[in-house]
Amino acid sequence: MSKLNARYGFVLLSAGLLMAGFGLLLIRALQPAVLPIGSRLKPVSCRTCTGADTLRPSAAGQTLVLLFSVHCPHCLYELDQLDRHLFSLPYDRFYLLTMDNRFDLCNGTSRWLNLSAGDRVTWAVMDKSVFHSHFGRSVKPTLFVFDGRGILRKKWSGEIKMEKLAAVYPQVPG
């Protein structure tokens, strides 16, 4: 009889944990996005190789923001693609963000020569809490495209092919 009670108790405990986990996922999924499409990006602080800076969209045209991690193979692929196609992409400003405080902003970017040499590109570290409060969840890689007024027009989580990214440019007003 005690074995039956133990199994029944285990089944109830498992079902309770499963329902609690599902409930948490449901609550999280129903929360509004921090930065939904059509919302304006407020200036946000970050750290670059030269010190404190402010990430703000370019008033001259479109801005692309990429969240990456050097420990993520998909992110490295995305950075390699951006480096290879930088001059064919019409975006006016690029921000390459990481939340890894140990990332060497001055020397760690040497793998990507085009991204490191261009004046349209800013490598930056952002505190995780600051990122979450301005952008939302931190899935890596994530690309955000802002127009010249700082309005979020597109965002992708995961790898994106450069052809798709280039095709979006004419659809987003500068």
Do 86 and 129 belong to one domain? yes
Provide mean pLDDT across the span 105-134. Answer: 90
Tens-place pLDDT, residues 33-47: 678 999 998 899 999
What's the number of domains the chain is made of? 2
Do 74 and 152 belong to one domain? yes
Domain assignment present for residue 37? The answer is no
Percent of the chain surpassing pLDDT 70: 78
Do 52 and 21 belong to one domain? no
Rounded distance, CA 55 to CA 44, Å? 5
Provide mean pLDDT across the span 145-173. Answer: 81
Tens-place pLDDT, residues 1-35: 566 666 766 666 676 666 655 554 544 444 456 78
Domain assignment present for residue 69? The answer is yes
Domain assignment present for residue 38? The answer is no
pLDDT of amino acid 26: 46
Provide mean pLDDT across the span 57-67. Answer: 88
Lowest mean pLDDT, pick from 84-93, 141-150, 161-170:
161-170
Rounded distance, CA 146 to CA 58, Å? 9
Both tokens of 47, joined, read 């750290």
Do 48 and 26 belong to one domain? no
Residue with the bigger pLDDT between 21 and 140: it is 140
For 11, the domain range is 1-31
